[in-house]
Amino acid sequence: ERASLSSFRGIGSILGSIVPLVIFPLILSGFENRLSTGYTVSITVCAVIGFISCFLCYIFTEERKITKSKNSRPVKFIDALHVIQKNRAFLCMCIHGLCQGAATSITSTMSSYMYSDVYQNLKLMSMGSLILMPFSLVFLFIAPKFTKKMGLNGFIRFSLLAGIAAYAGLFAMHLM
């Protein structure tokens, strides 16, 4: 069940990333001679669309009422450190999240540079995103089936090794 929920969360994030990955380069390509203006307009449009999306997502959401028990005490920062110290799996997930966030930041930052300065065609960035998204959606739909077959740990290890092999292959092709 957790794998299915994670897949659906991933599908939602992919659908949500259509706006910045497709619209941003198209707007930016219209300002090729004035890139600073293009970035300002693109970021403003994406921010407005993001604000409207977040507002619509939470407009009908209700908070659950949680009552405090008499024995509850405020959580301190040191409590979080104790959890990290005692729970290796949680620590690994934190490190994984940090690495994934850093990789996503580097990829998104470098891709706009690569498409604008190296390829000199920002419209290709939109096309690449549109081609990549269906593959990601298909993978997220079939991921729960592989998780049931291989087990969650096995599937995570397989996915990480496949990613490492793909990036090493891309790096090796660049050297040729």
The confidence score (pLDDT) of residue 1 equals: 57
Whose CA is closest to 35, among 117, 127, 124, 114?
117
The confidence score (pLDDT) of residue 171 equals: 76
CA pair distance 63, 65, nearest whole angstrom: 6
Helix intervals (H) in 17-151: 18, 24-29, 35-58, 77-86, 88-113, 123-150
pLDDT tens digits in sequence order for the chain, 176 residues long:
566 666 667 777 777 777 777 777 888 888 878 877 888 888 788 778 777 777 776 676 666 666 666 666 777 778 777 887 888 777 777 787 787 777 777 777 777 777 777 778 777 877 777 787 788 788 878 888 888 888 878 887 888 888 888 878 877 876 76
CA pair distance 3, 140, nearest whole angstrom: 10
CA pair distance 154, 156, nearest whole angstrom: 5
The confidence score (pLDDT) of residue 68 equals: 67
User: Is the overall model pTM greater than 0.85, yes or no?
Assistant: no
What DSSP string describes 96-124?
Answer: HHHHHHHHHHHHHHHHHHIIIIIS--THH
The confidence score (pLDDT) of residue 160 equals: 80
